[in-house]
Amino acid sequence: MITITTLVENTARGAGILGEHGLAWWIETPTHRVLFDTGQGLALERNAARLGADLARADAIVLSHGHFDHVGGLEAALLRAPRAPLHVHPRVCEPKFSGSGPAARRISTPFVEEQRFRQDERVVIAATEPSEIVPGLWCTGEIPRTNDFEDTGGPFFLDRELTRPDPLLDDQALFVPTREGLVVVLGCAHAGLVNTLEHIIRVSGRERIHAVLGGMHLERASARRMDATVATLRRLGVRCLGGGHCTGGAALRRFWSEFPVACAELHAGARWSFEEI
């Protein structure tokens, strides 16, 4: 059995479980355990303990991209799991900013920017190609941007002056083949949900996507983008759809209207199980 537990999300459900703006996942296969993202770092350790996820037993840690709400808890996670290899995209360490005009704010962290994770002989794997993190669980690597209707989902930049748009090439997702089909776990899908799913189909050689879970950054999506996203999910026959974090209220309402049977609530404490192949 493959079990996916949401350790951190904007919302929470369950006694003593905290919510914060961010995402972190605990993925258990029959033989391995993987931490995917770490939230801001305020809720990770408490929620992990409450949900029975022993971070010290992580066989690998993976970052979806370099924004603070996904890497803020990295230092604490590395202390808990000193032998776990860290998987990142090479551009995860770039300074990152968001905003408009004088309202620019830094949304990266010094710990990641300064690569402080490269300590104590830590194994760090920086790759742009798809890779198998542990047996059966894959990382997409860099996701090609192949359509003309998806963007990164907001005003993201590489400099405080907001003159260099950040293409967020460090954005990546995880996927695992199961008996029901591919299960996709997202950070924020800054590469675009459609780009992400089509890339996974290409690299996996499998056409059936059973579940899509995570942030989808559709808060600012145009009507054309939403229509294309819904059409893609329907064409792929997605049977489990758990959107949250940065997906946006309007997009979630559309999903629940279009896919009422498939949609599932995403919150810290949520858990899914799938049969391994």
Looking at residue 124, which CATH number applies to its domain? 3.60.15.10
Q: What residue ranges of the chain have pLDDT lower than 70?
A: none
pLDDT at 101: 72
Can you give the residue range of the structural domain that contains 246? Answer: 2-274
pLDDT at 100: 79
pLDDT at 69: 98
DSSP type of residue 245 = T
pTM value is: 0.97
pLDDT at 23: 98
Looking at residue 96, its amino acid is: K
Helix segments in the chain, DSSP class H: 44-50, 68-71, 74-80, 110-113, 193-204, 223-236, 249-258
In whole angstroms, what is the distance from residue 22 CA to residue 94 CA?
19
Report the Cα–Cα distance between both ends of the chain, in Å, rounded.
9
pLDDT at 121: 84
Name the residue among 183, 191, 85 with its Cα closest to residue 138: 183
Torsion angles phi and psi, residue 111, rounded to 5 = -60, -40
- 7 within 8 A of 51, measured Cβ to Cβ: yes
Instruction: Provide the number of structural domains found in the chain.
Output: 1
In whole angstroms, what is the distance from residue 258 CA to residue 242 CA?
13
pLDDT at 103: 77
pLDDT at 230: 98
Strand partners, 28: 3, 33
pLDDT at 120: 76
pLDDT tens profile 172-213: 999 999 999 999 999 999 999 999 999 999 999 999 999 999
pLDDT at 37: 99
